Structure 1
Amino acid sequence: MVPPRLSDVLQGGAKGTVREKGAIELDDLDGVHLALKNPEAVAEGTRVQVNSRGSACTSLEEVKRRKREKKAEKFLKARERRQKRKEARQEAEAFWDQYDIPFEYDVAIKGRRSGLLRGSSGTGRDSSTVEHLYVLEAFEDGRLSRPEGVYLCNNEANLRFDDGERRQDENGESFIPPVTCQTCLDRMERWKWRTKSEGRDEKY
């Protein structure tokens, strides 16, 4: 006869001790013993955890080892994410350090309707989305001029996402990502510094 509390006890992984002939004595059910399929597989006296179905068990040492490994894996993944965010900020700072842009600007994307549909990222992005230089202040520079509130490349966009793109570094602080639109980059060349031996004092 199956004890009425057995399924509840097994639900969270019941602990017990292997006794003679592979009988598992459960901690939370006096007088209830489960039997190992292979009595010789686990030594008598071994502390074990029985799975929810009661069909297999794992030594508590093995359970602890797996928990340690899982914790270490989470730590390593978190450290890797922090390192990537740190490197992303360093790359962004190095990118913007190349330029002396003579007007107020930001970085924005051109939204895609496909990026808002069910099953998408919900951010308005898709695989072809790039970051654009967004003009916040009207300017004229030779033959190139723009009013405020437009993308530097062109102002065609299915959805205008002009709030400004931001990323977070390893400390949770936000930063402006680099421009990745090739047309914007081509037009930004005029504001790029040319490094000379005496310092950054000329532009391309």
Structure 2
Amino acid sequence: MVSGAGPEIERLTALLSKLPGLGPRSARRASLALLKRKDQLLIPLTRAMQDAADRVETCRICGRLSTQNPCPTCTDPARDQTMICVVEEDSALWAMERVGAFTGTYHVLGGLLSALDGIRPEDLRLDGLVQRVRSGRVREIIMALPATVEGQTTAHYIADRLKSFDNQVEITFLARGVPVGGELDWLDDNTIAHALKSRR
């Protein structure tokens, strides 16, 4: 904590330090920056956070954060409702949308299976995904989960859960391998091996 800074500053610093990527030192620097520029930073940030707390909720269909429920993606008639891209969090969904190449819908799990972190299947939005597939409208599930142990474990668990819909739904995985502009001598062995298996 910040010695002798007062409980308000200590509380602000403690809360900021809980954000991803902000340790105690970074949180102290952020606290100071906010307090030194109250009118330009702290007060507008406070209002923006209150607006977000009041208006943003989780879409009841796909699980993404939005000010509409259902969200604009789920209600957009131009979206292909037969395709669902499964992602871990909203940040992955935003990355997909930034590219602009996907015209289907999404399903945000809200995390990944992890025995170490105690995250079990019931902690994720898996039942909602199964219900969407059960509706009979879905033709393809695209797994866009991280290429980590947890990501692959989650993807395989979902594939197992959806086995009973095999004749109705195709499960696909994002291609992984050598990135554009990547040099082989900088890549890890798993990436090279996967690139070879996924060659076309």
Asked which structure has the greater RCO (Cα within 8 Å, sep 6+), the reply is 1
Task: Answer 1 or 2: which has greater strand percent.
Answer: 1
The normalised TM-score by structure 2 is 0.25
The normalised TM-score by structure 1 is 0.24
Bigger radius of gyration? 1
Task: Answer 1 or 2: which has greater helix percent.
Answer: 2
